[in-house]
Chains A and B, each alone.
Chain A
């Protein structure tokens, strides 16, 4: 409806492999980047920017888990633990060695990648639920180690106060300043993932997911790529942990416990496994839904409940609605929000001349 898909002829391999084969893709992507980087910070209140900040950090983590879960088909319940590895690495580097964020970000990611590769080792032997338990063990082991190693975790409180990021002499304090720190990292992560999944590595991941024996037969080194998937996924998790640490101003393992790992699994599944857009949808959905439900209940609830009890009702209803909506969206479209979006897109693609 909005654009034509015909009439674009590709005359080179390069054109055929472009990230956005149609001009509208390029226009839309540029438009979104401009919207978020230029328009949003100008019109939105600090509060809304803070929500975008939290959602943007979650997007990075969800992307990382989706590479492992959605593209390579390996499950991990230790994603939050890898975040804590990144968090403490960055905090130690920033506090003890006075490192700027452009070193701590990759350093946290790399350390998490190293630990993630180690944790990924069982994936060479076990699959599915068994691997889930193996990675669950990693979650607890990492938590325990951080809890009991003051050298890493900074003393009895197991928390390290993190200085705010400094960008060319400016301390990034406010939500809008942090916005310009977090969002570029998220955009970078999205672009990197988009490119990763259509590369040789990404195709190898998909081959392993779909049938690992067949993948091995066509010459993919399954062991290597499985570990690589764990490493890349953990790298993203580590970077997420560093972002959280800068955002919270503190590295503390209590912010990265098992329920957070489950949250990230939920983001991937609700958003859509094996899709970049799905990770973004999932992360935004899980982050925003409780807020939206609360605001909705605050508006509607006053008509039904007495003021003092409203808080109790909101808190409980939020959980009920949250669970209900997740089931609703998964029943409507088991392949996740991404598939739902594709359905909408396909519907309007030929609208009003469907069939």
Chain B
């Protein structure tokens, strides 16, 4: 029962923050990806950095259970799947989490996104044996450095994983601040506003 209660509290907080940071707004997703408004990019980088520093610092202080980590397997299909998701993300302005939240915020095109998503997930369920047989799904769950007490192997076993996490977290935060609010690749866009 505690688990369900936590799901409600953390889930609701996540949905509300996604909405308030502008991630449920496909205009801001599109403008992040065509590089004309990096508001969301800066927010995402700051979020990853903040989460990373707090989690690894908490682990070093013994306040965060290392066992709560859940590192996904790295395999070729991760990259292929990432490419596919990227195309659909840019075209629709939604990813799975923000699509669900955007539909709840009142966007009807997000409902179409969810319907397509349910069909896409079903198509994957049907074609999974083919991917499995291809060998593109086999790999290993790796962290960059060796995290003390974690069950995962490291890409660079000689590096202390918790320090790596804090340093990278700080780097994400630094990039969030350093990134300009827009990157103009062509002159035409600069005059459009």
Same complex: no
Measured CB to CB, the residues of B under 8 A from A are none
Measured CB to CB, the residues of A under 8 A from B are none
